[in-house]
Amino acid sequence: FIDGVARAFGRIDVLVNNAGVIQVAPMQDLRVEELDEAMRSNFWSAVYATRRALPHLEKQGRAARIVNVTSIGGRVAVPHLLGYNASKFAMMGFSESLQAELSYGSARGPRVTTVIPGPMRTGSIYNAEFGGDPRREFGWFGLASSIPLATIDARRAARRVVAAAREGRAEVKLGLSSHLLSWAHGIAPQMTVRLMGLVNALLPAPRGAAGTTRGRDLRAPAQGSALLRLSNEAARRNNEAPPEAAR
């Protein structure tokens, strides 16, 4: 595919790595296959795409851009998102390693921008996978993805990512949550982990139930809640197809 793009347009100037899947469940309720899926989609897809595109990007030198969309989940391990966290931590290391090798000193390669979003209002809660106690997991995750001050609108986030890539910035944080949690983890990492432990105590307990259910298939009571209004609006706008209960 990437070589085909280069043939069709004669060059490649920008690569954006933004693939992702998310499973929401306690560790005990996740199968190894689901963790592997998270790593393959969220991390390995970026590795393969970058390796394939790099020869084309290097022809453009420092004018080229690689944009890696990671997550605050790659800085702070949020409970019940183990596969997502692990893949985004890997993505964070991959992106910063690329910066060191391609963007600085005598290197003349593409500039690499690491994007660190907090929760974004995209409506993707309906395509996330929920395990353990799926309806309760959907409830807390849906709310966390819809609160105005704690989340960022996807359109606003996109504009900031484009601006950061044009400027060749090394890093851009999106949303108040990303800034606050990055700061907290930077000055007190162990305290931040303990705080996440307190959050974990408020979440549904493991049930020893294998398998996950997609959000749109849950028929969870929270789907029709006014608290999810912003997420439901984003889902309709972004073709995330919320169920009838959320329309």
Catalytic residues: 84
Q: Which amino acid is at 136?
A: R
Determine the Cα–Cα distance for residues 245 and 247; give it in Å rounded to an integer. 6
Task: Please name the amino acid found at residue 57.
Answer: L
In the block, which residue shows the tokens 């690689």? 66
CA gap 5, 7 in Å, rounded: 5
* Non-local CB neighbours of 95 within 8 Å, separated by 6+ positions: 68, 70, 112, 114
Element (DSSP H or E) covering residue 38? helix 32-39
On the CB side of 51, how many CA atoms lie within 13 Å of its CA? 7
* CB of 92 closer than 8 Å to CB of 70: yes
Query: Could you count the other beta carbons within 10 Å of the beta carbon of residue 61?
Result: 11
